[in-house]
A and B are shown apart, each in its own frame.
Chain A
Amino acid sequence: MMSPSSTLAHSAATRAEQIAQFLRNYYIYFVLAAVVVVLSLANLDRFDLFERGNFLYERNIINILRVSAPLLTLAGAFTLLMVSGYIDLSVGSTMGLSAVVYALLAINGVPFLAAFGITMVVGAGLGAFNGLLVVRFKITPVIATLITLSFYKGLALLLVQDGVSAIKSGGGLKMPEWFNSYGREGVLLGLPMSFWIAVAVTVVLVIAQNRSLLGKYAAATGGNPTAAKLSGINTGKIVFLLYGIVGVSAALAGIARSSFMSLGDPLSGDGMELNAILVVLIGGTAFSGGEGRVLRSFIGALIIMALTIGMLTIVPAYFQTLVIGAALLTAAASNHLISRKESAS
């Protein structure tokens, strides 16, 4: 969308336009910096969450990054799906179901790698089922994934026996040692495995978006589905594949969340779809499809996590829903203003 207009206007490009272009591409880093500065300056002693009230204290940064692992894992794949013009509202339920499956396997003595692999396959299956409903049964993405949101949540709740709220140690069964350390124990730079998996997923998806056909085809599908089809792209296959990738990412997010909390909570992913949409919008992804960057969504996820956790130290917890809702609307509105300016120039 941008490239033809910018090459045409290239000769006439003034300094102001160059600055505007620069801001459009890199604004997200300024926002992140601004959030960090504001939170560092704010008086954070109120709940004594941060030691010595310092946001930039090492242990605090580590804490925020390991809590953010699920959202960081999810942001990239969700971006690619939205770039192709589709949406997945079931990511929260997929997360919850994966968390339950993973915890069930672990508590019954399945070794780490096997449990990890099986849960990823389950996630891929759940994502592929979404893809099936959308591509084969031609149900609108919003409705199809609302159906599976309900369905997966029901399955997750059924897997946990009545009278217990989550899979956890007790009744003769005990969670193995490795279960919790995956999400908490520092392996590199004091950060746990779950965080590094999130980074790895993002790196893979950034490469996939910039260097592989998948990224090109996803953008083509979202930009103009008819043209993409006419130029020989199997859009159905691309969409199906992307839903599968989102499913795997959601499963990894579920693993990260359940490891961190040391239990398999069927509701642990509730509201995740809203966070994912918010993160993707903050990253400047067009909700009509065709445009968006994996890396920017990753930074967007960092912003949201820093904000939500930093906010806990300034205002009481019951402000969270309000702030996320307001942030979602603000992001959507500013996204609209930016894209309108682009099409006008």
Chain B
Amino acid sequence: MSTPTQANRALSRSHRMSDQTCINLLVASVAVLLFLVASLLVPNFFQWLNLLNLITNNWAVISLGVGVTFLLVSGNFDLSVGGIVALSGVLAVWFAQSTGGANELASGFGLPYWLAMLCALAGALTIGGLNALFVVRFRIPSIIVTLGTMMLARGIAQVVTQGSQRNTNLPADFGLLGNMTLFGTSVKLPVVLMAILLVIAVFIERKMVFGRLTYWIGANPVAARLSGIDKDRHVTYLYLFSACVAGIVGILLSSEFKSGYSNRGMLMEFDALVIALLGGVAIAGGFGSVVGMFFGALILAVVTSAATGLILSPDWQFILKAIAVFLAIMTQTWALARRNR
């Protein structure tokens, strides 16, 4: 039987962390290099504030990228996060709006804010649960499932907001969470939460059994099952985790803008996937890291903001993203093939 060799391969794969470090270093140096090049070409680009802005402006996508990265490592896609962002934001607003407004869009359930947030989170987790149900139980390819749930989540948001947005009759403290600044600086709460999430994610990924199992499952599902790992339960947790992060992002965004908008988070699922791929996460599973994803996000941010600075038409961003992902995938394949020759 071929099973022992497969298990061995998975074992050696998970121990060969030097590959991971190599790719992370590669991605990080590309990010730094691009930042320096952009500084030469674009006036006023080389500033601390600008570097900080590149990160803080992308807190939502980077946070979503954490869940998406874990799922990719386990060998699954999650394209539903953008839809969940819209859904949870709209639900938070709907539950928090006081009853008896002027029209249908102005009146909600009048729940206290904390309860409204919990209900919105429950809505997000329901979508995550649906993802898990279809992928794990029905064995339907995750790309099709999460495309479906993306439309389902956004569809519910559109029905609740009747295709536009809800932004009236909200409690006074609704905008507090998304706009709160901390430590007397201009750094907002969502950015700090993103940083905390990143640290926790790196810890889980490197030091905890849960994180290491994710790599095993992605590298070789058969071997993982044969060694007694409950793959189904693991993937279910990952989908719930990703949906939970997306739900919180949606709630924070709705608080920041004090509105529940059904088109919010549009294309965010695509951007989260792009930064993970730019960060060297393998589509086949079993390889990649949250650190790489973070630097991937930096690369995308530098490229798009530098392009805007060079007065390229905003239409260029689609082409730039495509070329960046293509180059990232080709480089990763080439670098790993060279190392392991």
Contact = CB atoms under 8 A, between A and B. Distances in A.
A162 B311 CA distance: 13
B319 A325 contact: no
A150 B158 contact: no
Given A329-B134, A332-B134, A332-B140, A153 B158 contact: no
B147 A287 contact: no
Contacts of B158: 318-319, 321-322
B222 interface: no
Contacts of B316: 154, 158
A267 to B, nearest CB: 11
A157 interface: yes
Interface residues of B, number: 46
B319 A151 contact: yes
Interface string A261-297: 0000000000000100100010000011000000000
B77 A332 contact: no
Contacts of B144: 277, 281, 287, 328, 332
Contacts of A138: 333
A162 B313 contact: yes
B147 A277 contact: yes
Interface in B128-155: 130, 134, 138-141, 143-145, 147-155
A150 B159 contact: no
Contact of A316 (B139, B162, B321, B329): B162
Which residue among B156, B313, B315 has the maximum number of chain A CB atoms within 10 Å of its CB?
Answer: B315
Contact of B318 (A140, A153, A319): A153
B284 interface: yes
Interface in B157-182: 158-159, 161-163
Interface in B310-336: 313, 315-323, 325-326, 329-330, 333
A324 B151 contact: yes
B277 interface: yes
A288 B130 CA distance: 21
Contacts of A277: 144, 147
A287 B310 CA distance: 44
A316 B147 contact: no
Interface string A146-162: 11101101110110001
B283 interface: yes
Contacts of B147: 274, 277, 328
B322 A274 contact: no
Contact of A140 (B151, B283, B315): B283
Interface string A115-150: 000000000000000000100011110110011101
Given A137-B330, A154-B318, A318-B162, A323 B155 contact: yes
B113 interface: no
B322 A326 contact: no
Nearest to B83: A325
B145 A146 contact: no
B325 A324 contact: no
B319 A322 contact: no
A323 B140 CA distance: 20
A145 to B, nearest CB: 11
A146 B147 CA distance: 13
Contacts of B163: 316-318
A287 B326 CA distance: 25
Contacts of B145: 329, 332
A322 B326 contact: no
A20 interface: no
A100 to B, nearest CB: 12
A155 B323 CA distance: 12
Nearest to A90: B322
14 contacts: A143-B325, A151-B323, A153-B318, A154-B322, A157-B315, A162-B313, A287-B141, A320-B155, A321-B151, A323-B155, A324-B151, A325-B151, A326-B148, A332-B138
Given A151-B323, A322-B156, 17 more contacts: A133-B326, A138-B333, A140-B283, A150-B318, A154-B317, A158-B315, A158-B319, A288-B141, A316-B163, A318-B163, A319-B158, A322-B155, A324-B155, A325-B150, A328-B144, A329-B130, A336-B138
A-B interface, 3 closest residue pairs, ranked by CB to CB distance from nearest: A322-B155, A325-B151, A154-B318
